[in-house]
Amino acid sequence: MASILLLNGPNLNLLGRREPEVYGSDTLADIERRCKDEAGRLGHQLICRQSNSEGGMVDWLQQQAPSAAYLVINPGAYGHTSIALRDALLGVALPFVEVHLSNVHAREEFRRSSMLTDIAVGCISGLGAQGYLLALQFIAEQLRGGGSDGP
């Protein structure tokens, strides 16, 4: 059994009431519960965290990464702006899948680039809460030794 981290960035604590036409009606608690169930079904443990603070995200990654096998991250707005988050991910050398609930490529221009995508194993965008579950399924396959390690 491997430990997988799930890190959600700023404003994702408002899911379910924040722009449901963009982000859906699921709350973060709903998503985390389904993800924990899916991780368990796949034979792994999921450790979840949400932070509105860039420093809080960096601190948690540095603390948790040594005992984890993989990370699923929805960096929220920090994905578009945070060199500190990028550096933390490079520093801990933990493979990760970047997830976005909305299709960032169909939104405002500033959302179409990410500071993280080029260092991620993969990126899932626009599939709503299902994207998290797909990321976990991909990770479980990687941990079993199947499939490619990415590009």
In a domain, 26, yes or no: yes
- Kindly state the tokens that stand for 141: 């396959």
Of 44, 78, 100, 132, which one is the catalytic site residue? Answer: 100
**Does 86 map to a domain?**
no
Q: Does residue 87 fall inside a structural domain? A: no
Q: Confirm whether 83 is domain-assigned.
A: no
148 domain-assigned: no
Q: Does 23 participate in catalysis according to the annotation?
A: yes
Instruction: Express each pLDDT in 32-61 by its tens digit.
Output: 999 999 999 999 999 999 999 999 999 999
Give the predicted TM-score (pTM) of the model: 0.90
The answer to whether residue 62 is domain-embedded is yes
Domain count, the chain: 1
> Is 64 a member of any domain?
yes
- Percent of the chain topping pLDDT 90: 76
Structural domain that includes position 14: 3-75+92-105+116-143
Mean pLDDT within 88-101: 97
Question: Which token pair is 96?
Answer: 């990760």
The CATH number given to whatever domain includes residue 29 is 3.40.50.9100
Parallel, antiparallel, or unpaired for β 70-74 and 96-100?
Answer: parallel
